[in-house]
Chain A
Amino acid sequence: MNPHAKLISSMSLIMGTSITISSNHWILAWTGLEINTLAIIPLISKSHHPRAIEAAVKYFLTQSTASALILFSSMSNAWSTGQWDITQLNHPTSCLLLTMAIAIKLGLVPFHFWFPEVLQGSSLTTALLLSTLMKLPPITLLLLTSQSLNPTLLTFLAISSALVGGWMGLNQTQTRKILAFSSISHLGWMIAIIAYNPQLTILTFALYTMMTTAVFLSLAQIKVLKLSTMLISWTKTPMLNATMMLTLLSLAGLPPLTGFMPKWLIIQELTKQEMTPTATIISMLSLLGLFFYLRLAYHSTITLPPNSSNHMKLWRTNKALSTLTAILTATSTSLLPLSPLIITMF
């Protein structure tokens, strides 16, 4: 992509995110969201493949609809309460509309249909941006208004996201779609706890971003777009495949890896709030996700020679591993003993 265009797009992304996160006024928050939407469109469609163009159009349409709904909810709140403060969202219709709008923006069920296809149409790095950076402004808005939102609705969104994210991911062979459904399921976990302890949502989001970035960067390093490629990619970087297995199992939430920490803390908070059935349902649904993470782990490392060698092997590359991937992989597998420290950071 043209370096100037890339510069403008990335700067706009950073600007849009910063505007939304740091704003007090609804109009400014909406502005930041729109800047983000517009800035990432060229990044999605940069390969000019028909699927990429379609992904860009789907992304634009859904996100604009959601932004318009956010604007409408803030305006109706301003009409009835006379102020545009984000944290003072008091009108019930506005709260409902905002929840739905953010659900569309984030890709929560039942508004998740755009997300896998948009991720599939973009490159791995853009998919990373879509899964992590583009989720930050909407979650910030939810965090700021979390005290006035309807907990039942949020719980419903959470459980159905965990359900659909786990279930639909089972039949996928394209890694980007698998990671899309993993993102939907993790977002469900984040939304489950937002009404009771927003710090845990921030913690879950931060840890999820770290682990997903590690996975996406590892996949981008070995250019693995589907499961069959992953099966033969171990010759390129055997160590990366082995550590990717651990990062994937961390995403699945297995102790003693880092991914267990958000699940543990969320279940603790939910049981404290007397929502034990919700905690049980959402944790059992995360086992569905475990199946496809395990299948990814099997493909990346576990089915290795001398057990299965009847396949064409890819050439080993000499590309040095990026330090960022190494750091993120290390943190996303070994941070659990530091949980007391990490909780205090959020």
Chain B
Amino acid sequence: MLKIILPMTMLLPVTLLSPAKFMWTNTTMHSLLIASVSLHWLTPSYYPLKNLTPWTGTDQISTPLMVLSCWFLPLMIMASQGHLQHEPHERKRMFISTLIIIQPFIILAFSTTELILFYISFEATLIPTLILITRWGNQPERLSAGIYLLFYTLISSLPLLITILYLHSKTGTLHLPILKLTHPNSPTSWTTLLSSFALLMAFMVKAPLYGLHLWLPKAHVEAPIAGSMLLAALLLKLGGYGIMRITLLTEPVSNFLYYPFLTLALWGALMTSSICLRQTDLKSLIAYSSVSHMGLVIAAGMIQTQWSFSGAMILMISHGLTSSLLFCLANTNYERTHSRILILTRGLQPLLPLMSVWWLLANLTNMALPPTTNLMAELTIMIALFNWSPPTIILTGIATLLTASYTLYMLLSTQRGTLPTHITTTPNSNTREHLLMTLHIIPMLALILKPELISGTPL
């Protein structure tokens, strides 16, 4: 673990002490190196926990997410080069430092076995994200976006803290493996119900669940590209991962607890997909599609079967890559026209044909085309939900249909049709942008060949 955490923390001095000419090169290259070293975590095993230290341990649920977060740091740094190029050098440095500060906390959050350390890392990602959104966002709405992000997350996570400490006073420990072993819980008392509810709510807001998702469109839209990538690919997955870890503490299952979350998650997948069809703001469209996909993850996390956890894992990883890719593509549009309005940036295929290849691939993976891992995930979750209760197929089926329709709408709006008359010149897509898209697509395509790596089950 230390071979990743220490270099990642040392990236901060690299940023602060690099000469101006080499700052981007140094940070990108070193974070890519760390990302490639982190790939060894993916080796599957039947041991319950690997890479054991007194406070961390990785297993098949946490390693794909940790590898994803290591992979995303160079991508975020590369993506930010565009909008930061005219800033003074110090501000570029501060931006990259903010990105780097989040990384150790995310790695800690995904790998820790101690619940309080998980809570602290979970909350610690909030302040740098707040800084990214409100300091480097571009519209005045970013201030209320920061407030929504902070308050939605904190209102739900304070009860989580209290319940974690209550667990500590009852069982004497917060070490997850031990909690797995010593957890009798009377299924009918109010205390159990409230404590399970409190444990889950923080992750429901983070994931986000449909009724608690209002912070997400604001935060995703107002954030700069690195902020959007970070939020979509990593911070939402903290919610999904938290649900998968915490549900072992809310046994035995009480139906009162899970029905509301399942209903809201599945209905929310439908609702947000429908809203996507009427969005005028491109980033808002992608943000609502995130809510839709994560709704499926929450639903799978609630029913807690092997297949559903496996499907949730694959969906989290593939959605992370796809959503981030879509945000990068939307950002290329934004950098050229400084507008996110869908109809103002339409018909780009004749202008930027190479970028339209990436648009096509991104939208094909978003709508869960076979043989991408998105399809594997959605099918696995749909089947697991069908096994749990047959009528859910109606909801998941319609959600899949709506996903395909809004994705097609997004593709056709941005790529086909007549060019708007106000676009007279566009800078051509540069190599950095193509590299960015490639680095998103290659993991997705490679994972088609071996999805067991991210499926959350030992081979």
- Chain A residue contacts of B147, Cβ below 8 A: 291, 294
Stretch in A13-21, A175-183, A267-275 with 4+ CB within 8 Å of B: A267-275
Output the least CB separation between B425 and chain A (Å): 24
CA distance A267 to B127 in the complex (A): 22
Q: Which of B120, B138, B146 contacts A256 (CB 8 A)?
A: B120
- Given A254-B127, A255-B123, are A287 and B162 also a contact pair (CB < 8 Å)? no
B395 at the interface (CB under 8 A from A): no
Tell me the bound Cα distance from A272 to B172 in angstroms.
Answer: 11
Report A-chain residues with C-beta under 8 Å of the C-beta of B119: 255
Residues of A within 8 A of B121 (CB): 256
In the complex, per-residue mask of B59-98: 1 if CB is within 8 Å of any chain A CB, else 0: 0000000000000000000000000000100000000000
Contacts of A276 in B (CB 8 A): 162, 166
Considering the chains assembled together, what is the distance between the CA atoms of A257 and B127 in angstroms? 10
Q: How many residues of B contact A (CB 8 A)?
A: 30
A303/B143 in contact, CB under 8 A:
yes
Is residue A290 within 8 Å, beta carbon to beta carbon, of the partner chain? yes
Set A255, A257, A283, A290: member contacting B151, Cβ < 8 A: A290
A274-308 interface bits toward B, Cβ cutoff 8 Å, 1 = contact, 0 = none: 00100110011001001100100010011110110
Give chain B's interface secondary structure class: helix
CA distance in complex: A8, B339 (Å): 65
Contact B134 A264 (CB under 8 A): no
Note all chain A residues with C-beta closer than 8 A to B154.
254, 287, 290
With contacts A302-B135, A307-B138 known, is A287 near B123, CB below 8 A?
no
User: In whole angstroms, what is the CA distance A303 to B126 when docked?
Assistant: 18
Q: Is the CB of B165 within 8 A of A271?
A: yes
Q: Does A255 lie within 8 Å of B124, measured CB to CB? A: yes
Q: Is A336 an interface residue (CB 8 A)?
A: yes
Option from A260, A280, A291, A307 in Cβ contact (under 8 Å) with B120: A260
Q: Is the CB of B123 within 8 A of A254?
A: yes
Q: Smallest Cβ distance from A270 to chain B, in angstroms? A: 9
Distance between B149 CB and nearest chain A CB, rounded to angstroms: 11
Q: What is the 8 Å Cβ interface bit string for chain B, positions 106-146, against chain A (1 contact, 0 not)?
A: 00000000001001110110110001001101100001001
B168 interfacial by beta-carbon distance below 8 Å: yes
Q: A256-B105, A284-B155, A287-B155 are in contact. Are A271 and B123 (CB under 8 A)?
A: no
The answer to the question of A249 belonging to the interface, with a C-beta cut-off of 8 Å to chain B, is yes
| Contact (Cβ within 8 A) A304 B127 | no
Q: Which residues of B contact A290 (CB under 8 A)?
A: 150-151, 154
Would you give the shortest CB distance from A185 to chain B, in whole angstroms? Answer: 15
Whether the pair A298, B123 counts as a contact (CB closer than 8 A) is: no
Q: How far is the CA of A256 from the CA of B131 in the complex (A)?
A: 15
Which residues of the partner chain A approach B123 to less than 8 Å between Cβ atoms?
254-256, 260
Name the residue on B nearest A336 (C-beta): B120
B150 surroundings in chain A (CB, below 8 A): 290, 294
A336 and B123 CA atoms in complex are apart in Å by 13
Given the complex, which residues of A lie within 8 Å of B151, measured CB to CB? 287, 290-291
Name the residue of chain B whose CB is nearest to the CB of A257. Answer: B127
What residues of A have a CB within 8 angstroms of the CB of B453 in the complex?
Answer: none
Those of B367-407 within 8 Å (CB) of chain A: none
The residue on A at minimum CB distance from B137 is A307
Select from chain B the residue with minimum beta-carbon distance to A263. B161
Interface flag for B169 (CB, 8 Å): yes
Assess whether B162 is in contact with A298, with CB atoms less than 8 Å apart.
Answer: no
B168 & A284 in contact (Cβ 8 Å cutoff): no
The residue that A298 contacts in the complex, of B116, B120, B138, B143, with Cβ under 8 A, is B143
Q: How far is the CA of A220 from the CA of B216 in the complex (A)?
A: 38
A311-340 contacts to B (CB < 8 Å)? 336
Partner pick for B162 among A283, A301, A303, A336, CB 8 A cutoff = A283
Residues of B within 8 A of A306 (CB): 87
Quick one: closest A residue to B86, CB to CB?
A306
Complex Cα distance, B164 from A264, in Å, reads 11
Bound Cα distance from A287 to B154, whole angstroms = 8
- Which residues on A sit within 8 Å (CB–CB) of B134? 298, 302-303
Q: Is A268 a contact partner of B158 (Cβ separation < 8 A)?
A: no
A255: chain B residues at CB < 8 Å are: 119-120, 123-124
B451 within 8 Å of A by Cβ?
Answer: no
Interface residues of B in 8-24 (CB under 8 A from A): none
Report how far A254 CA is from B154 CA in the complex, Å. 9
Name the distance in Å between B105's Cβ and chain A's nearest Cβ. Answer: 7
Cα A56 to Cα B140 in complex, Å, equals 42
Q: Give chain A nearest CB distance to B303 CB in angstroms.
A: 29
Task: From the candidates B87, B155, B162, name the one contacting A279 in the complex (CB within 8 A).
Answer: B162
Q: How far is the CB of A135 from chain B (nearest CB, A)?
A: 26
- The residue in chain B whose Cβ has the minimal distance to the Cβ of A303 is B143
Known: A255-B119, A256-B120, A303-B143. Contact between A280 and B105, CB under 8 A? no
Q: Which B residues are CB-close (under 8 A) to A283?
A: 158, 161-162
**A284-B155, A290-B150 are known contacts. Are A249 and B162 too (CB-CB below 8 A)?**
no
Q: How far, in whole Å, are A221 and B36 apart by their CA atoms in the complex?
A: 47
Across-interface contacts of A256 in B (CB, < 8 A):
105, 120-121, 123-124
Q: Is B44 close to A, CB under 8 A?
A: no
| Interface contact B143-A254, CB-CB below 8 Å | no
Tell whether B159 is near chain A: CB-to-CB under 8 Å: yes
Q: Please provide the chain B residues from 391 to 443 with a CB less than 8 Å away from any CB of chain A in the complex.
A: none
A264 touches B161 (CB 8 A): yes
CB of A205, distance to nearest CB on chain B (Å): 21
Given contacts A268-B168, A271-B165, contact A302 B131 (CB under 8 A): yes
In the complex, how many angstroms separate the beta carbon of A158 from the nearest chain B beta carbon? 16
Assembly CA distance A306 to B159 (angstroms): 38
| 22 A–B contacts from the bound complex (CB under 8 Å) | A255-B124, A256-B123, A260-B120, A264-B116, A264-B165, A267-B161, A267-B165, A271-B165, A272-B169, A276-B162, A283-B158, A283-B161, A287-B158, A291-B147, A291-B151, A294-B146, A294-B147, A301-B135, A302-B131, A302-B135, A303-B134, A307-B137
Q: Which residues of A contact B (CB under 8 A)?
A: 249, 254-257, 260, 264, 267-268, 271-272, 276, 279-280, 283-284, 287, 290-291, 294, 298, 301-304, 306-307, 336
7 closest A-B pairs by beta carbon, nearest first, are A256-B124, A255-B123, A272-B169, A268-B165, A255-B120, A283-B158, A302-B134
Given contacts A256-B124, A284-B155, A302-B146, 6 further A-B pairs with CB under 8 A are A256-B121, A267-B162, A280-B159, A283-B162, A303-B134, A336-B120
